[in-house]
Amino acid sequence: MNRLDKYRKILTRYWGYTSFRPLQEDILKSIGQGYDTLGLMPTGGGKSITFQIPAIASDGICIVITPLIALMKDQVDKLKKMDIRAMAIHSGMTREEIDIAFDNCIYGDYKFLYISPERIRSEIFEKRVRAMNVVLVAVDEAHCISKWGYDFRPSYLHIAGIRKLVGKDVPMLALTATATSRVVEDIMDKLEFRQKNVLKSGFERKNLVYLVRKVEDKNKYILETLQKVKASGIIYVRNRKKTREIAQFLVSNKISADYYHAGLNAEQREYKQNAWTTGKPRIIVATNAFGMGIDKADVRFVIHWDIPDSIESYFQESGRAGRDGKKAWAVQIFYESDIGRAKERVNRKFPPVDYIKNIYELLCNYLQIPIGSGKNVVYDFNLAEFVSRYRLSVAQAYNSLKFLERENYIELTEELNNPSRVFFKASRDDLYKFQVANASLDSFIKLLLRNYTGLFSEYVPVNEDILARKSGLSRDIIYKYFVDLSSRDIINYIPGKRTALIIFTEERLDRKSLYISPENHRDVMNKYLERLDEMIKYVNSKSKCRASMLLDYFGQESVRCGMCDVCMSRNELDMSKYEFDLILDKIKEMLQKEGMTAEQVMERLDAEKENAVKVIRWLLDHDKILKDNTENLIWNS
């Protein structure tokens, strides 16, 4: 049996499909031949299969590097449900948990080790990974390695060092949904690819209709749209409070809707996402925190209430519509004032260097870190409490922390919902003797062993509320049993908590030694403005096909889609694309040289007068040509 047939058997057994998508198959062949590979796959393209299947088919383990801890946990849970051994190591774990996890990866026939990028520089990782039989390294969200990307993370720059630990012949698979040609080159360079090797599917979504609508009343526009389109959709909003307000407005107008943002607890987020996925409600109003793990094919529209920061994020979020291949809509709505507001965001996004230094000092004081201490220590961090204590702007404080992360002083994780975890320290024989001698704890130990497996080999997440319900005891009693068993060295019990984490990658410095490069600050801000300007151009454009603009941005060949609002306005002229473009190009060439009247333009055009008039009128309506004070037409560059 050849390798690809083996892969197909695994696909059918675990995922229920009989064939791969074309790009999946290309990537699998490339990895199977031992090549370093960069896979550009659109959102929902089945990226995880490209590294999960080769690893399952092999005798070794695949290391998966991802910054998204929630995604890491989600994929590990899914693999475990398929009886595939997988482990996650991230900053929210204790050293003992990490130590046991590494033991399992070395000796326990595990197929996957998911790890956050900041962990791969730790001494314990560098030591223990050498003992693993690593067959593949997969780098998810690979655009994070590039300073030209929209979500640069300094910890990604150390990934290439893993080659020295696992062997240079182990192939590396880098995956991302969106990357410009410059970012593509940067990814391969920074990951030290042995040969350039990019595999990509076209970013073109032929079933997706892109629309931009300038409106006077967004609530009215959305209400009228949702009353006409009786289907499932997402409305993206920047502001958490606004998600709730818009959802309540829709509900008050008899439209089934709910809201979602990162400030909700994990149970609420999971409940809301699952409810929307099953069609109750049909509309979710959300911040960009809503996206990871969405598996809903029949989303008919994605509406952006606010202007996103970049084409990359807009393209990725819009791409959640129409995954079933049927017609769907990606709609950007805006007020005239939104353009100015988007540009003003840069002041909150990039606080002054002195302000960032103030935040660093306040953070160190908040966490009680003396000068010269704190390196590689993980701290629980509550942003809301931090800004409240020092009366700070949430946006400016958060963005200052993100800049300190870019400068490699700290790592800031997303908020984690770490459940309680239990590991049995006592052997099975010693546990039996303990149960005989301690009848009062025997029934609780049996309850634990009935409901959870793997307690003797790894830390297992447990739920005190479920155990309380099943036993008929209170949650407090369950907690006391855990503490009692822990104090007697029968188990290790780590109570659950929900918090973000900060890791200091360097010891605390005094203010004079804290160097934040003004050039780097300016450079990062300018790159952000460049990406924002491209997004604003997209919103403002009235003359170029929306789909073509997006594809051009990512360096892909494009043709007019014929469906977006710009193409539809051209279609109304009753002319072919060829005729229209021919006349437009000639007019542009003439008017870029000198201004002239409409009559002079038509005299010089080798085209039917009726068509020439239509194109000139269209160009005037879309501000591509203007009239000067002498009534001459001029090209508006």
The tokens for 175 are 């995956």
Sign of the C-alpha dihedral computed for residues 511, 512, 517 and 518 taken in this order: positive
Q: Which of 89, 295, 327, 293 is nearest to 205 (CA)?
A: 327
SS3 sequence of 135-182: EEEEECCHHHHCCCCCCCCHHHHHHHHHHHHHCCCCCEEEEECCCCHH
Does the pTM exceed 0.85? no
**pLDDT for the residue 603:** 80
In 3-state terms, what secondary structure has residue 254?
coil
Give the list of residues 6+ apart from residue 211 with CB closer than 8 angstroms, or none: 329, 330, 331, 332, 546, 564, 565
CA atoms of 159 and 138, how far apart (whole Å): 10
Domain 3-200 has CATH 3.40.50.300: yes
Measured CA to CA, the distance from residue 121 to residue 125 in angstroms comes to 7
**Per-residue confidence (pLDDT) for residue 430, from 0 to 100:** 94
- The per-residue pLDDT for 108 is 85
Q: What is the mean pLDDT of each run of 10 residues along the chain (637 residues)?
A: 87 90 91 94 82 93 90 88 92 88 91 92 90 95 88 88 92 91 93 94 88 94 91 94 96 95 81 89 92 80 95 92 92 92 87 95 96 91 92 92 90 81 94 93 94 92 93 94 94 89 91 90 90 94 90 86 86 72 83 83 78 80 78 80
pLDDT at position 292: 64
Q: What is the pLDDT of residue 470?
A: 93
| Among the listed residues 528, 413, 566, 514, the one whose alpha carbon sits nearest the alpha carbon of residue 92 | 413
What class does CATH assign to 573-635?
A: mainly alpha
Look up residue 596 and give its DSSP letter: B
Q: Are strands 625-627 and 633-635 parallel, antiparallel or unpaired?
A: antiparallel
Distance between CA 4 and CA 21 in Å, rounded? 13
Check if the beta carbon of residue 309 is closer than 8 Å to that of residue 528: yes
Helix axes 22-32, 49-57, angle to 10 degrees: 40
* Domain residue ranges in the chain: 3-200, 343-416+500-529, 420-495, 573-635
514 alpha-carbon distance from chain centroid: 30
CATH level 2 (architecture), domain 343-416+500-529? Orthogonal Bundle (1.10)
Identify which of 63, 92, 256 has the alpha carbon closest to the alpha carbon of residue 166.
63
* pLDDT of the residue at 54: 94
